Amino acid sequence: MKKVRLDIMALSHSVTQSHNYAVVLGEENGKRRLPIVIGGFEAQAIAVALENMTPNRPLTHDLFKNTLDAFDIDIKEVLINNLLDGIFYAQLICEQNGNVIQIDARTSDAISMAVRYGCPIYTFEFIMESAGVILEEDDTESKKSLSKTKSTSVETMSVASLEKLLEEALEKEDYEKAAQLRDIISSKKTSDS
């Protein structure tokens, strides 16, 4: 079956399911998007890795990566290999000493591991045909939407105040808020220079 390479385009609140998030995967060199609804903790695990944050204590996905590394197992790719009754299924394609191992995983966990390993994410054409959507928005705009839920009151704060809030969010292990604050601080520093 033909595989389609995907990139993470956005991570945002789910429009269809409250208290959930959506990770939007985009077809490489294409306009199709694959939105996948995930839970809050799963979104946080992906956001932490995307933002290169180092939590005070290792998250479960970091622990799993450390364990795989200790046994010299490398994740070569993530494959979203099926879609049944609206539920996506995935596999971690791993390699150890030249042997390829396929491990079933929840799609959100597989994506989180892909970010940590910097490995590609693939799916099959039949999944893109049945669950993919075509967005007319260009890639730069969809990348800008990654974790952008800024509040107006926060945008008016000084960089020093925002950095203090960021530190507090990291101490509380609220990585989603920390990622949002980090984006605001970064854009403020860019506009000030």
Of 43, 55, 61, nearest to 173 by C-alpha is: 55
Specify the CATH number for the domain of residue 8. Answer: 3.10.690.10
pLDDT of 80 higher than 80: yes
pLDDT of residue 32: 92
Residues 101 and 157 in one domain: no
Residues 25 and 109 in one domain: yes
pLDDT per position as a tens digit, 137-182: 544 444 444 433 333 355 566 777 777 777 777 777 677 777 777 7
pLDDT of 56 higher than 90: no
> What are the backbone angles phi and psi of residue 16, rounded to the nearest 5°?
-90, -25
pLDDT of residue 26: 94
Residues 156 and 129 in one domain: no
Residues 64 and 99 in one domain: yes
Mean pLDDT rounded to a whole number for the chain? 83
Residues 40 and 86 in one domain: yes
Q: Which residues contact 129 (CB under 8 A, 6 or more apart)?
A: none
Domain enclosing residue 155, as ranges: 149-193
Q: How many domains does the chain fold into?
A: 2
And the tokens for 49?
């890795």
Band of pLDDT at residue 136, cut at 50, 70 and 90: low
Residues 119 and 73 in one domain: yes
Of 42, 23, 30, 13, nearest to 128 by C-alpha is: 30
Q: Is the pTM of this model over 0.85?
A: no
Please give the Cα distance from 162 to 183 (Å, whole number).
Answer: 10
Residues 25 and 53 in one domain: yes
Question: Which of 9-18, 21-30, 74-83, 139-148 reaches the highest mean pLDDT?
Answer: 74-83
Band of pLDDT at residue 14, cut at 50, 70 and 90: low
Residues 155 and 128 in one domain: no
149 vs 55, higher pLDDT: 55
Band of pLDDT at residue 193, cut at 50, 70 and 90: low
Residues 65 and 33 in one domain: yes
Partners of residue 38 on adjacent β-strands? 21
Residues 56 and 112 in one domain: yes
Residues 51 and 112 in one domain: yes
Residues 154 and 133 in one domain: no
pLDDT of residue 146: 41
